[in-house]
Amino acid sequence: MHDIREIRKNPEAFDAGLAMRGLAPMSPEILTIDEGRRAKITAAEAALADRNSASKEVGAAKARGDEAEFERLRQLVADKKTEIAALEEEAKTEDARLNDLLAGIPNLPHDDVPLGNDEEDNIEVRRWGTPREFDFAPKEHFDLAATQTGMDFETAAKLSGSRFVVMSGGVARAHRALAQFMIDTHTTENGLTEVNTPVLVRSRTMFGTGQLPKFAEDSYETTNGWWLIPTSEVTLTNIAADCIVDESYLPRRYAAHSLCFRSEAGSAGKDTSGMLRQHQFEKVEMVSVTRPEDSSNEHERMTKCAEGILERLGLPYRTVVLCTGDMGAGARKTYDIEVWLPGQNTYREISSCSVCGDYQARRMNARFRRAGEKKPEFVHTLNGSGLAVGRGLIAVLENGQQADGSVDLPEALHPWLGGKTRIGADGVLI
């Protein structure tokens, strides 16, 4: 959500930010609505002053027996009451129109975000690890012998339709171990607080983080008006909604392992094989709530936390900064971390870490008060995957595959696997 006062103050800068996203200027339309709204409010206040003045004179006219003046003033009071109600209703309508418009406008990018149209214009900032050289042709995760019994797409389709999977045996255990490893690392080593939140939320909660109203088709709504969360960013960030906290309370750093649900609207025919793009998946999410001056450093810290998970697992990755045309609507700057998948012979996204400034905080009314100050300020919010569990499993399986179809699992996972180290070609953990 954007601050109308900042747009009034510097409409050129606002439009310049929109231009970075390839959008046309919007300040003229916004300011026209705003001026009309403020004019209605001013007129209502003037009418109220007239009514109050006339109300005081009514009694005096009655006392001196001036019936004509009494009737005129009484009618004026009644007319002003009607006028005030009409003006207030018009101002309310214009206010809603303004808020709806502002709610649908994406965040303004940081100045250092590269300009571009799509993922082809993203800029790589670093790489870690060297992709393994195989003495056989590496396969994709769903073609491995180790996954043939433990990754069942046909049964999932019978139960739920396409883009679901039933996991069992060693595959299911490895998936669970990954989630536990991720959440334990973030909470014991990275200073995040573990939180378990609902997966069903109200519309207002989805609005707070920017999923509504513009991206409703990307999520699932229940018949009674709840929404299934597309990520626990929604719930973790909204912990701060409608709160004013002391400066000393910040930063807050949260982590949650949760189910996530996405309709994948607009992705028909894309990544349909295997479990790369699912309607239901699990993710370990990180969320930070900070003071404005701390958010940029926190963004770098959060990204390092996500990268550290891949390094502990020995999975090669690269980190890219997204260009303005590929960045999510709520972000001011985003790093995507892409893990190496030898079965596809390419890097694929496994985490996005974004700083949102006060964009979400304004939608949620999340504020803090500095020591010695009376007026509260909006916090800054950040979110990042730490990591997507299913995609982590894909990377582990493909990078650890052996010629016989078995999979060697990363040493970092062994404590969460009861000391087991491999998934055999028969799908059994050994």
Q: Go through 79-101 and write b for each residue having 16 or more CB atoms within 10 A of its CB, e for each that does not.
A: ebeebbeebbebbeebbeebeee
How many Å apart are CA 302 and CA 285, to the nearest integer?
A: 11
The token pair at 412 is 């970092």
| Coil/strand/helix, residue 89 | helix
How many Å apart are CA 284 and CA 388, to the nearest integer?
A: 6
The token pair at 148 is 């043939």
7 contacts 14 by C-beta, under 8 angstroms: yes
DSSP 8-state symbol, 411: G
Residues 6+ apart with CB under 8 A from 57: 69, 73
How many Å apart are CA 383 and CA 139, to the nearest integer?
A: 33
| Coil/strand/helix, residue 228 | strand
Ranges of beta strands (E only) in 240-378 are: 244-246, 252-261, 280-290, 317-321, 333-341, 346-355, 367-369, 377-378
Which residues are designated catalytic? Answer: 262, 277, 349, 352, 391
288 contacts 304 by C-beta, under 8 angstroms: no
* Bridging pattern class, strands 367-369 and 244-246: parallel
